[in-house]
Structure 1
């Protein structure tokens, strides 16, 4: 079983990733938390935790880890410090530690932030973090969902390099896509956008993996 560090484990999407990993036969989650007080919610479910702040040194968080999911975000408050530089820091630490795969939760629009009419600073930060990952020589998958909802999972998505259309997607379906991307034979060194659609997540991911 591979150990997967989840950065942003206390967030809405990160929490769903942790729960999916907990029930997986392939992966075991390690929740990265910023405060000692956040450990209890995971430890009562027998989920391992590690203390780490993306604004500080994070080298210790990837020790004895196989793969990483970056689902952290500052909620628009510290996009450069967390969403950009924090991600870059974790990417660098992962490279040094020989992490097998790094799955990045990015955002639709991060491919061309200059075209955005809103959230430009956020998309610019995500763009820079994504580019850093692409240049890192780590095996990666960069997942760029449209606007996130708290609706129930449909288990179906629309997937493409540039979807260029309106839509949204549930956090549950995003979490399922991130976990699917962790597999060794899935979406290696691929960047793609996702929205709610009519193709099963597994099938959509298989298409870009071949």
Structure 2
């Protein structure tokens, strides 16, 4: 499967670039915002394309062209304001969905946030971020895409364990970014995750096993 990875320069995205690039099952086209980021990826032998989620849909659609699936891990980052959260995490995701539909690409995996579907459990300090994720997820669920929405808990930079907990509702928990990437990778072809959304945190079940038991 030829996969467009949107947000390839992010912390989860960087793990996914390596997983997809080293896979025997998939190839990766990494979408980044800056030419210098693309050059670093090209030096590693990774196909890359420069496109901006704040640009128009046609720009993103050109990046999607030739792919079988889209993974969206992009985000505006914690150092930006609510305006960028709206433009990237919400509108950027909506544009990516539109671009996938325009190109006839059915498979779409979105990295969201723990309990983004449940307003009562949002972190008040991150409310604009949760609003963006909530409505971006709604856009995907209303599309004709074969989507998977993965809602990870608090993101950690420690090494992954390969073990997780997955469920439609997990109210708290954290997870290494490496294990989020592994979960995304495993979900890509796991039919039990098709047109499903779920929370994921660190846990006791091997990732592939956990997804098959959803």
What TM-score do the two structures reach when normalised by structure 1? 0.95
Q: Deviations over 1:145-166 (max 9, x none)?
A: 00000111100001100012x3
Give the match for residue 74 of structure 2. 72
Aligned to 1:31: 30
Distance apart, 1:15 and its partner CA: 0.7
Structure 1 residue 205 corresponds to structure 2 residue 211? yes
Contact 1:54 1:82 in 2 (8 A): yes
**What SS does the corresponding residue of 2:193 show, helix, strand or coil?**
coil
Spell out, residue by residue over 1:164-206, the C-alpha distance to the aligned partner (whole angstroms, 9 max, x if none): 2x32100000000001111152410010000100000010011
Write out per-residue CA displacement over residues 47-89 of structure 1, whole angstroms, 9 at most, x where no aligned residue: 0001110000222110111101000000142110000000000
Aligned to 1:43: 42
Cα deviation for residue 112 of structure 1 reads 1.9
Residue 90 of structure 2 corresponds to 84
Distance in 2, Cα, partners of 1:55 & 1:36: 16
**1:121 paired residue among 128, 132, 148:** 128
3-state DSSP class of the match of 1:142?
strand
Name the Cα RMSD after superposition: 1.1
Q: Does 1:145 align with 2:152?
A: yes
Gaps of 5+ in 2: none
Aligned mates of 2:45, 2:36 — CA distance in 1: 16
Q: How many residues align?
A: 206
**Gaps (5+ residues) in structure 1?**
none
CA distance in 2, matches of 1:60, 1:106: 24
* Alpha-carbon contact 1:180-1:186 (below 8 Å) kept: no
| Alpha-carbon distance in 2 for matches of 1:48, 1:7 | 13
Query: Which residue matches 1:12?
Result: 11
Q: What TM-score, normalized by structure 2, do the two folds share? A: 0.93
Q: Decide which of 83, 97, 100 is 1:94's aligned counterpart.
A: 100
Q: Note the C-alpha offset of 1:127.
A: 0.5
Distance across 2 between alignment mates of 1:95 and 1:86: 14
Q: What secondary structure, in the 3-state scheme, does the structure 2 residue paired with 1:163 have?
A: coil
Report the structure, 1 or 2, having the larger helix content: 2
